[in-house]
Amino acid sequence: ETGVTQSPTHLIKTRGQQVTLRCSSQSGHNTVSWYQQALGQGPQFIFQYYREEENGRGNFPPRFSGLQFPNYSSELNVNALELDDSALYLCASSLAPQGDYGYTFGSGTRLTVV
Amino acid sequence: AQTVTQSQPEMSVQEAETVTLSCTYDTSESDYYLFWYKQPPSRQMILVIRQEAYKQQNATENRFSVNFQKAAKSFSLKISDSQLGDAAMYFCAYRSVLYGNKLVFGAGTILRVKS
């Protein structure tokens, strides 16, 4: 049983650019949640995808968008990057949106915006 | 909106000793879940322990136990017989039962274990 895989592990982008982060969910999990973790802070919920539809969104602007594919993998897209978008982006998969059986987290993508 | 507060930015413990990490939360809901997650330098969030608010009994997982005080909205984590591998960032998190598709995290506590 594989866990959650995120790619890339690190990347550096320039302000104003666009970025796509990828997440492969754990085998059998149909739900993917994305979190942003700024340095020295706890993760903040961005949004969740369940069966290819957005199923809840945190307080993030529309330039943060996502997709979930039929195999339940997911992408997080951020347009018009700002310096404050520099953070660790964590993906978590679960058997159901409520995560009653637990969330499995990936090791994250460290995004630096310069 | 629910909030989670961890008032200890950093804690230290001697190997084999016991340490308690504090967490308080604010909610108007009566049914919810509380969690402690560990984040080592590998960055992957690992579930340590989970508590359901409607259960009176405090959860225990091996060396990890919680003190859940629902009226005081307090949820502390006790680590007994601390090991070097326990060194990590620890996050307290809340999940609503009604609106249960997200975790609300505290700011975290860095735990250092001295040998």
In whole numbers, what is the pLDDT of chain A averaged over residues?
94
CA–CA distance, B42 with A59 (Å, rounded to integer): 27
Q: Answer yes or no: do B45 and A102 touch at CB < 8 A.
A: no
CA–CA distance, A104 with A6 (Å, rounded to integer): 12
- Residue pLDDT, tens place only, A9-60: 999 999 999 999 999 999 889 999 999 999 999 999 999 999 999 999 999 9
Residue of B nearest to A47 (CA): B102
The residue whose two tokens read 């990057």 is: A81
- Residue pLDDT, tens place only, A58-84: 999 999 999 999 999 999 999 999 999
Asked if pLDDT for residue A1 goes beyond 70, the answer is no
B97 touches B33 (CB < 8 A): yes
Question: Which neighbouring-strand residues pair with A64?
Answer: A78
Instruction: Give me the pLDDT at residue A95, please.
Output: 86
When CB atoms are compared, the residue of B99, B100, B106 closest to A42 is B106
CA–CA distance, A75 with A34 (Å, rounded to integer): 9
Q: Answer yes or no: do B108 and A92 touch at CB < 8 A.
A: no
Local confidence band at A98 (pLDDT 50, 70, 90 cut-offs): confident
Q: Count of A–B CB contacts within 8 Å?
A: 59
Question: Which neighbouring-strand residues pair with A31?
Answer: A50, A94
Across the 115 residues of chain B, what is the mean pLDDT of every consecutive 10-residue run? 94 98 95 94 92 91 96 97 97 86 94 97
B106 touches B90 (CB < 8 A): no
CA–CA distance, B99 with A65 (Å, rounded to integer): 21
Omega cis (within 30) before A43:
no
Local confidence band at A101 (pLDDT 50, 70, 90 cut-offs): low
